[in-house]
Amino acid sequence: MMANDGITDFVYGVVDTPAKLQHPLIRRLHDDWLMAAPAGGLPGHGFVDPLRLSYLLGLLVVMDVVPVPGGNPRFRYRLVGTDVVARRRRDVTGEFMDQHFDPGVASTGPLVCALAVEQRRPVYLTAMRHMFEKHYPLEYIVLPLVDGGGQLIDRLVAAQIYPPDAPRLPYGSGSS
């Protein structure tokens, strides 16, 4: 990672209207999540189905919500899509978000995820990402998922959309 890489200019909040979602793939994921939710509830883990979400596979991130007795939950990366890894130049699968190599993600990411858990609603985030000496606008959505009992939010699914001209390393390039 280059010293000046990082995410800046975060704006985030609860998705109270789909109009806040700019990218068509983010809107589609949000709509799919809404359609998968049972009446009065939230979708379960089965929502993250490769057939259902094939249009976003390389852009998805799945996180476990890890309870902390007497404190805020932590978020562990369960799955990080190949396109996200290529653009970030590092696979963080198995790591905790609050220990992320990008200080912006380590400090703001847990706040965004905690908001999705607390509000039991989707949360959007826009930001600027500095990569390879240039800034790129990004859009994210974080969606809560419940356990088999249907009440406890124990997983989150997120999509990260980069503009088409944002650089990426070839899959398997080994850079980290």
Region of 54 (left: φ > 0; alpha: ψ -120 to 50; beta: rest) is alpha
Instruction: Check whether 169 has a pLDDT greater than 70.
Output: no
pLDDT digits (tens, 9 = 90+) for 28-70: 999 999 999 999 899 999 999 999 999 998 999 999 999 999 8
Percent of the residues in the chain that have a pLDDT greater than 70, as a whole number: 87
Asked whether residue 167 is domain-assigned, the answer is no
Percent of the residues in the chain that have a pLDDT greater than 90, as a whole number: 55
Which residue would you say has higher pLDDT here, 60 or 2? Answer: 60
Asked whether residue 125 is domain-assigned, the answer is yes
- What is the pLDDT averaged over residues 106-111? 90
Alpha-carbon dihedral angle through residues 60, 65, 66, 72, given to the nearest 10 degrees? 120
Asked whether residue 82 is domain-assigned, the answer is yes
Phi, psi of 165 (to 5 degrees): -85, 0
Of 45-54, 70-79, 90-99, 165-174, the range with the lowest mean pLDDT is 165-174
- State the pLDDT at residue 20: 83
Tally of domains within the chain: 1
Listed in sequence order, the residues at least 6 apart from 135 whose beta carbon sits closer than 8 Å to its beta carbon are 8, 128, 129
Asked whether residue 168 is domain-assigned, the answer is no
Please tell me the distance from the alpha carbon of residue 97 to that of residue 13, in angstroms, as a whole number: 18
Asked whether residue 61 is domain-assigned, the answer is yes
Residue numbers of the domain that contains 138: 6-161
Of 5-9, 25-29, 85-89, the range with the lowest mean pLDDT is 5-9
Of 17-26, 28-37, 132-141, where does the model show the most confidence? 28-37
Q: How confident is the model at residue 166 (pLDDT cuts 50, 70, 90)?
A: confident
Listed in sequence order, the residues at least 6 apart from 31 whose beta carbon sits closer than 8 Å to its beta carbon are 18
Question: Helices (H) and strands (E) in the chain — how many of each?
Answer: 3, 6
Asked whether residue 171 is domain-assigned, the answer is no
Asked whether residue 170 is domain-assigned, the answer is no
Asked whether residue 172 is domain-assigned, the answer is no
Residue 138 near residue 127, CB atoms below 8 Å: yes
Mean pLDDT over the full length of the chain: 86
Q: What's the CATH code of the domain at 82?
A: 3.30.450.20
Separation of CA 109 from chain center: 9
